[in-house]
Amino acid sequence: MLAAFLGASLRPSQVAQALTHTQTGDITIPGSGAASPYPSTVFVQGEPGLITDINIRLVGLSHTFPDDLDIVLEHEPSGVTVLIMSDACGADDLNNAEILFDDQSPNGLLPDLGCSSSNGVFYHRQPTNYGSGDSLVAPAPTSGYSGALSAFNGLTPNGTWRLWVYDDASPDTGLLSEWRLEITADTSAIVIPGSGTAAGYASPNPYNIVSGRTGLITDVNVTVSRLSHTWPNDIDMLLVSPDGDSVILMADACGSNDIRSITLTFDQQAANTLPASSCSTGTYRPTSGTFSGGAPAPAGPYGTSLNVFNGENPNGTWRVYIYDDNDIDTGFIIDGITLNITTGSSIIQIPSSGNATPYPYNIVVSGLTGVVTDVNVNISGLTHEWASDIDMLLVSPNGIPVMLMSDACVAERLTNVNFSFNDEVGSG
């Protein structure tokens, strides 16, 4: 029986770092066609973590008809491209302007018409594209541009960053003096698999979450935040409690379609399991397939219900083993894995050996008249690792003892079980 409840959200703290990389060489924009150089590049190496936010700052941008400009940012080796500016600002000159493109800018897009021609004007705006069918010329990517810088989230910041600047109409010209990448990278992100593109465990492996709570578990939910993968069917995910019990959260689910930055919550009370294809953000029951990872994960058999953890002490190290069971495709988890644990205070604590606490547990009955004609006993929320160890005796106020259970349920684990003892129920 549970007297109190506590919701606990447990997650390691994130470690974020700010990175700035600058290209200071002038980019000359002709009356029509590709700028020079085409592209302008920034090479990043040796930076840890994965991108959680990226902005790009254009410094010293001048043009006599900025509506002509099409500007694309590309990352290699990922091949992700974002169209940051196209058909904006109309015919009004830009004169040594500074523009910070930021998905989270509260100021919205650049003006479609009528940007300020004041010298050194500053704009803090979201990536802006007013046209359609924009296509740069080779060797730039000619299609498939994203419209948000968040397309780079989850990628390594390392690699070659290319800024492609193109003028799509004559005769006006321009100049860009400098551009900067402003990157936030999270070093606590989980990379799937950690080995690169070969099948194997994620890094870090296992992903450890240490709990420090009171009471016994009555409910466990798990949230995987901002999960991406290019073939999610490859993902096998196993949760192991401090007591060594384990549940497959997901395996052989979500099919072959890319998932990008989705959040999955696993809750035994959810209506559905994960679909076989095309997963999206939502709440699901654990979806068990085959967990393919070997050591250091524990060997099976594995549980299929989060209820297996009910009645356990929540304290200790919880481990999440994430295994990618096929080569080539990869993924990552940006915002980590959260355990949401509900605990309750038990009214009777049963030790590994000896008397329970309290011993005895007293129930005071008063105010009833007449004589006893029937007694039933309900035991609620009983949990024990080895049920046949339990001896349970009921003693009346007159000292009459009745053994409720002893050496029963041999070698079985009981988890939050309810028993009703009633003489009218047959044996078995």
pLDDT (tens digit per residue) in 126-159: 999 998 878 899 999 999 999 999 889 888 899 9
Q: N- to C-terminal Cα distance for the chain?
A: 25
Q: Residue 264 sits in which domain range?
A: 189-346
Based on the number of CB atoms within 10 Å of its own CB, is 370 exposed (0-12), middle (13-18) or buried (19 or more)? exposed
Instruction: Give the confidence band of 427 by pLDDT, cuts at 50, 70, 90.
Output: low
Last residue of a domain, one of 137, 156, 186: 186
Structural domain count, the chain: 3
Are 24 and 139 found together in one domain? yes
> What pTM did the predictor assign?
0.65
Q: What percent of the chain has pLDDT over 70?
A: 95
Residue 236 has pLDDT above 80, yes or no: yes
C-beta of residue 76 within 8 angstroms of C-beta of residue 166: no
Last residue of a domain, one of 140, 160, 186: 186
Structure tokens, 413? 């684990």
Q: Which residues are registered as beta bridge partners of 317?
A: 210
C-beta of residue 197 within 8 angstroms of C-beta of residue 230: no
Residue 37 has pLDDT above 70, yes or no: yes
Q: Is residue 8 part of a domain?
A: no
Q: What pLDDT does 197 receive?
A: 74
Are 229 and 375 found together in one domain? no
Last residue of a domain, one of 186, 212, 242: 186
Q: Is residue 268 part of a domain?
A: yes
Question: How does the average pLDDT of the chain come out, rounded?
Answer: 89
